[in-house]
């Protein structure tokens, strides 16, 4: 039954390849910031609805979050898709830096591909289930704002993932791998300081500088770095710092991301940073407000799902590239230094990474090598991974050495290299979901593994009880 279903699903993806690419390219062009992905989420939801899915829009208090469902009963297999862009990364699909619109957003993490591969995979599964008589439910989760507001953590808190048996997700990458590393838990917080304006030369004694408070807080946090776990990461920007130098700023604002390998480590560091903010306000005679944006967990890997996805990747086979696509890749690769490529490969810790220094695009499909490693980034996929066995796998979309969150990613996500990765990933999602629908022993093993990996630890939402999705985060 599974093999017949796979044939139907893969055929559907091949027959609808043009439309799948059109959807991805449209989202690439929309390039909407997190929680503002109105066109992107509507396009995906409408497409799923057109193929018979029941769509619930605006879930978990986010207008751009949705769930599309086809089928009924167990098992329930989820597929996730992201579609938010990043600020300031507008870029044409050319192998050199050239913005479409200076300062505008761009898909610097390939989420136009991410959302579309999940959509296409889910639709293909729906037709395979119908034609092969496969029981169960396929759900597509439209998850906004992964880069900024971590939409999935709000969806988890709202119970949107309750009852799902396993979850698949795909992310564009420079390698074809179903990784086994964890990720950093984090908090995202803004600190608003309020002072008193005055003439900075004529009557400075009457002023209370909110900018001084921001800067003193930053100094305090930078001294804290010596006394936190080595794997922790703390970074910030000053979003508002005053108007002109002869006016004491009566308002200033910083935005912090606080990360560590475990949720309790983040919470401990965060408490100390709150004390530093309070101290900065006391030192400057200002007041302050903490705006808690979001918080997420560390990811729980799944070897069971990693092996399943890897097997399907190998069975389907990685894509071939046209001469034009390879020429594009070669030109773009010239903008990445040998040193940067070497460091990117070294940081991957992939066995034999040195052999990839002369490789342009990695078409191999290795076994996951990073069991026990903690990735340097964070993702709200982590919170889903505590609810059910979850796998977010990568497919080679970018030339080796491509830096994340860069114009290079935007360029490659909007042309043939990205299109090939999109279709490949759609097929892998469909094939893996069908295996999970038809092989109960896989789900049993995946759940046993999840319980073993989380033994002694229980998930509780990291969000404060009164916290709501920061729908106006970009309007300040």
pLDDT in tens, 69-103: 999 999 999 999 999 999 999 999 999 999 999 99
- Residue 436 C-alpha from the chain's centroid: 23
3-state secondary structure of 218: helix
Beta strands in 311-350 (DSSP E): none
Kindly report, residue by residue over 140-149, the tens digit of the pLDDT: 999 999 998 9
Peptide bond into 235 cis (omega under 30): no
Which of 6, 11, 21 lies closest to 422 in space, CA to CA?
21
Beta strands in 226-305 (DSSP E): 233-240, 251-260, 287-296
DSSP 86: B
CA distances from 362 to 68, 176, 358 (A): 34, 8, 10
Tokens of residue 77, six digits = 């297999």
DSSP string, 98-166: --SSTT--B-TT-HHHHHHHHHHHHHHHHHHHHHHT--EEEEEEE---TTTT-HHHHHHHTTTTTT-SE
What are the structural domain ranges in the chain? Answer: 2-183+298-453, 185-296
- Residue 259 C-alpha from the chain's centroid: 15
Query: Residue with structure tokens 């946090």?
Result: 221
DSSP 13: H
* pLDDT at site 34: 96
Element containing residue 66 per DSSP (H, E):
strand 66-72
Beta bridge partner(s), residue 233: 259
Residues with Cβ < 8 Å from 243, sequence gap 6 or more? 249
Beta bridge partner(s), residue 240: 253
Query: What stretches in the chain show pLDDT beneath 50?
Result: none
Tokens of residue 354, six digits = 């040195």
Q: Cα angle at 72 between 69 and 74, to 5 degrees?
A: 110
* pLDDT at site 251: 98
Residues with Cβ < 8 Å from 402, sequence gap 6 or more? 174, 332, 336, 344, 408, 409, 412
* pLDDT at site 1: 55
Tokens of residue 207, six digits = 């002023």
* pLDDT at site 11: 98
Rounded to whole angstroms, how far apart are CA atoms 403 and 473?
26
Long-range contacts of 463-469 (CB under 8 A, 24+ apart): 463/153, 463/154, 463/157, 463/292, 463/294, 463/295, 464/292, 467/292, 467/294, 468/61, 469/35, 469/60, 469/61, 469/62, 469/145, 469/149, 469/151, 469/154
Do 31 and 42 meet the contact criterion of CB atoms below 8 Å apart?
Answer: no
Which of 430, 432, 431, 413 lies closest to 422 in space, CA to CA?
413
Four-CA torsion 143, 106, 214, 473, nearest 10 degrees: -40
Task: Count CA within 13 A, CB hemisphere, residue 450.
Answer: 24
| Residue length of the chain | 476
Four-CA torsion 425, 431, 437, 442, nearest 10 degrees: -90
* pLDDT at site 110: 98
Task: Count CA within 13 A, CB hemisphere, residue 155.
Answer: 35
* pLDDT at site 472: 87
Do 301 and 453 meet the contact criterion of CB atoms below 8 Å apart?
Answer: yes
Rounded to whole angstroms, how far apart are CA atoms 79 and 141?
6
Pick the CATH number of 2-183+298-453 from 3.90.1720.10, 3.40.50.150, 3.40.630.10, 3.40.50.620: 3.40.630.10
- The CATH code that applies to domain 185-296 is 3.30.70.360
Rounded to whole angstroms, how far apart are CA atoms 346 and 354?
8
DSSP string, 153-211: HHHHHTTTTTT-SEEEEEEEESS-B----B--EEEEEEEEEE-B--BTTT-GGG-B-HH
Kindly report the backbone phi and psi dihedral angles of residue 144, in degrees, each rounded to the nearest multiple of 5, phi listed first.
Answer: -80, 165
């Amino acid at each position: 039954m599974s093999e017949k279903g796979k044939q139907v699903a893969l055929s559907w993806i091949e027959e609808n390849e043009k439309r799948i690419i059109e959807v991805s390219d449209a989202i690439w062009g929309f390039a909407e910031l997190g929680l503002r992905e109105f066109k992107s989420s509507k396009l995906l939801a409408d497409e799923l609805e057109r193929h018979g899915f029941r769509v619930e829009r605006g879930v978990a208090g986010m207008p751009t979050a949705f769930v599309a469902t086809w089928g009924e009963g167990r098992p329930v297999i989820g597929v996730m898709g992201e579609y938010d862009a990043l600020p300031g990364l507008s870029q044409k699909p050319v192998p050199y830096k050239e913005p479409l619109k200076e300062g505008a957003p761009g898909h610097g993490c390939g989420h136009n591909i991410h959302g579309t591969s999940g959509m296409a995979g889910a639709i293909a599964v729906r037709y395979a289930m119908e034609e092969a008589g496969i029981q169960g439910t396929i759900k597509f989760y439209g998850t906004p704002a992964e880069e900024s507001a971590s939409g999935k953590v709000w969806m988890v808190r709202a119970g949107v993932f309750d009852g799902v048996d396993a979850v698949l997700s795909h992310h564009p990458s420079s390698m074809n791998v179903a990784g086994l590393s964890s990720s950093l838990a984090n908090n995202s917080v803004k600190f608003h300081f309020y002072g008193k304006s005055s003439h900075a030369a004529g009557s400075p004694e009457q002023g209370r500088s909110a900018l001084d408070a921001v800067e003193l807080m930053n100094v305090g946090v930078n001294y804290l770095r010596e006394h936190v776990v080595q794997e922790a990461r703390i970074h910030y920007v000053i979003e508002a710092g005053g108007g002109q130098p002869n006016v004491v700023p009566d308002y200033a604002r910083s935005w912090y991301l606080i990360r560590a390998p475990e949720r309790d480590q983040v919470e401990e560091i965060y408490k100390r940073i709150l004390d530093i903010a309070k101290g900065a306000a006391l030192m400057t005679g200002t007041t302050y407000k903490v705006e808690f944006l979001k918080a997420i967990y560390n990811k729980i890997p799944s070897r069971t799902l990693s092996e399943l996805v890897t097997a399907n990747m190998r069975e389907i086979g990685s894509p071939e590239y046209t001469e034009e696509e390879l020429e594009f890749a070669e030109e773009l690769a010239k903008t990445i230094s040998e040193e940067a490529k070497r460091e990117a490969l070294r940081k991957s810790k992939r066995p034999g990474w040195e052999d990839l220094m002369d490789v342009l695009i990695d078409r191999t499909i290795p076994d996951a090598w990073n069991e026990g490693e903690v990735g340097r980034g964070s993702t709200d996929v982590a919170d889903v991974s505590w609810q059910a066995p979850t796998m977010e796998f990568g497919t080679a979309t970018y030339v080796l050495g491509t830096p994340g969150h860069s114009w290079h990613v935007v360029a490659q996500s909007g042309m043939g290299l990205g299109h090939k990765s999109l279709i490949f990933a759609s097929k892998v999602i469909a094939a893996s979901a069908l295996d999970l629908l038809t092989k109960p022993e896989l789900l049993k093993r995946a759940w046993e593994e999840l319980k073993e990996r989380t033994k002694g630890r229980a998930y509780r939402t990291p969000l404060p009880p009164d916290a709501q999705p920061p729908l106006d985060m970009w309007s300040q």
